[in-house]
Amino acid sequence: MKKILEIKTKVRFQDCNPFNHLNNSKYIDYFVNAREDKILKHYNLDAFGHANSYRKSWVVTGHQIAYLKPAMLNEEIVIISQLLHFSSSDLRVEMRMYDKTKTVLKSLLWSKFTYIDIQNKRKAEHNGELINLFTKIVNPIENQTFEERCYQIIKNTKLV
């Protein structure tokens, strides 16, 4: 089972600012859409279907993002994501945006998702099936902080 998911996409006109850069608020949309598409394809996990079936779903409880180089209008980009950590009710996912050659890091995002019972709006615990999936796909890293991870990736890629 793949631990690191990758998708190629293109920066769209409607998502850009007057400088032809991807608008800062749109980076998160691109990241989350890419992750959603890939977890459905590779893990057969449909977040919306899961919410309808179990009346539980994940909500974003935090983001850390670094904007390193602009993603440009009509540029082909690669988004890579992985589950860094999970607990009984939380997930930490890393998402990286690169140029099409994966040599220029454009942005790095860490997102924390908390599993919530939709009816009572309280934290819920992942069931055994989810824990089993997360155990198979988790891909922890050595770095403990976002800043350390950002530095490590920058050091290993070209920021041209």
> Which tens digits make up the pLDDT trace of 114-154?
999 999 999 999 999 999 999 999 999 987 899 999 988 88
Q: Is 40 helix (H, G, I), strand (E, B) or coil?
A: helix
Q: What's the pTM?
A: 0.94
Side chain identity at residue 122, one-letter code: R
Rounded to the nearest angstrom, the gap between the alpha carbon of residue 87 and the centroid of all alpha carbons in its chain is 17
Q: Which residue has the tokens 């400088």?
A: 19
Kind plus residue range of the DSSP H or E element containing 115: strand 105-117
Here the tokens at position 32 are 């989350």
Q: What does pLDDT average to over the chain?
A: 95
Yes or no: domain 4-156 corresponds to CATH 3.10.129.10: yes
1, 85, 80, 88: which is closest to 45 by C-alpha? Answer: 1
Residue 110 pLDDT exceeds 60: yes
Query: Could you tell me which residue, 97 or 151, shows the higher pLDDT?
Result: 97
Residues in the chain: 160
